[in-house]
Amino acid sequence: MTAFASRLASKISNTLVYVSSDIAFSPYGNHWRQVRRLVTTHLFTVKKVNSYRLSRQEEVRLVIKKIQEAAAASKEVDISEMMNTFANDIVCRAVLEDNFPGLANVLGLLTRWFVSNKADEAHKRWDDLLETIVSDHERRRRSEHGHGGGGGVDQEESNFIDVLLSVQQEYGITRDHIKAILMDMFAAGTETSSLVLELAMAELMRHPQLMSKLQDRRRETLRLHPPAPLLLPHLSMVDCDVDGYRIPSGTRVIINGWAISRDPESWESAEEFMPERFMDGASSAAIDLRGNDFQFVPFGAGRRICPGLNFGLATVEIMLANLAYCFDWGLPIGMTEGDIDMTEVFGLLVRRKEKLILLPEPHACTC
């Protein structure tokens, strides 16, 4: 259904993402279809996501090593900061083929700027950064392939920027279009993955009896705490009826994904964190998070579903599995499960107000 597949133009999105020429905020039409086809065909195929498996494993090993060092010294670790840095490094390895530690700080500001009056300032900072990154890759391509910067690119082995530059003429995209797509990759890829990891660990610390039932903690975390609880606004393109309600063309439509995933008519004990609900044979085992079941749409559904879904899930799964496998987790001295504050701060994405600080203890097994 394409009736609600468009986006409403806004001053902030036009300013931040190059006149809404990215994937997330672009209105439905030829440009959006072209860009969507580009990223799904060249950037987020299953094969392409799998090609970053070794990079993910390497970044996980670095995180685990830091936690092991903290555990050996009986020190607490800042899970919020650590997961944000990890997710940022994973995205940078895919997009840039290198780490970019300072980018995590800029990304945190981006999601807040989406709901502030500083969009012009944010765009200037981001444009300067992205221009430098793209120019560096262009210079490298010219040195490798001659003055024109052309030449064949192995798209399964190349980073996202090199792939975008290699298909720029084929898809008729401009330099600003490339920068808009990259902004989506950085913002969505880093923020959502780190938030899911932090919230999953917070819920598991609040319910320690579930630490051994980790098979479906990912889906349950996304159900109870969708990082983008209102998804992104849609725009109706034609007059239509929805469940008896008349929706005129040009209406801004907000999808309350948070309320949908906590609807007691669809979910048993909807307000409780119960990963076991998704286990084989359980009440919600067959419910999918890929937009096929409308009671659970953390990544959206239909034509505007998040194209980076597989990339994000792979990032979350490998990190969460290693955190649970390699360590026992405790709370700082004087804290109990009931002291964990799950108060959220609203922005483009929803995050916990307080950082998650935990005390790791290594398992007897070796990671």
Q: Do 229 and 258 contact (CB within 8 A), yes or no?
A: yes
In whole angstroms, what is the distance from residue 119 CA to residue 129 CA?
A: 15
Residue 312: which residues within 8 A CB-CB, separation 6 or more?
A: 188, 189, 192, 193, 196, 299, 306
In whole angstroms, what is the distance from residue 286 CA to residue 293 CA?
A: 9
Using a 10 angstrom Cβ sphere, with 0-12 exposed, 13-18 middle and 19 or more buried, the burial of residue 336 is exposed
CA atoms within 13 A on the CB side of 354: 9
Residue 245 pairs in a beta bridge with 242
Q: Do 356 and 343 contact (CB within 8 A), yes or no?
A: no
Q: Is 306 annotated as a binding residue?
A: yes
Residue 97 region by backbone torsions, left for phi larger than 0, else alpha for psi between -120 and 50, else beta: left
Residue 122, classed as helix, strand or coil, is helix
Extract the tokens encoding 101: 């530690």
In whole angstroms, what is the distance from residue 113 CA to residue 260 CA?
A: 27
- How far are the Cα atoms of 44, 58, 78, 333, 337 from residue 70, in angstroms, in the given order? 35, 19, 10, 15, 21
Residue 3's nearest CA partner among 343, 260, 220, 242 is 242
Residue 102, classed as helix, strand or coil, is coil
In whole angstroms, what is the distance from residue 90 CA to residue 98 CA?
A: 9
Extract the tokens encoding 75: 């020190």
The CA-CA-CA angle for residues 321, 218, 95, to 5°, reads 75
The annotation places the binding site at 306
Which residues does the annotation place in the binding site for heme?
306
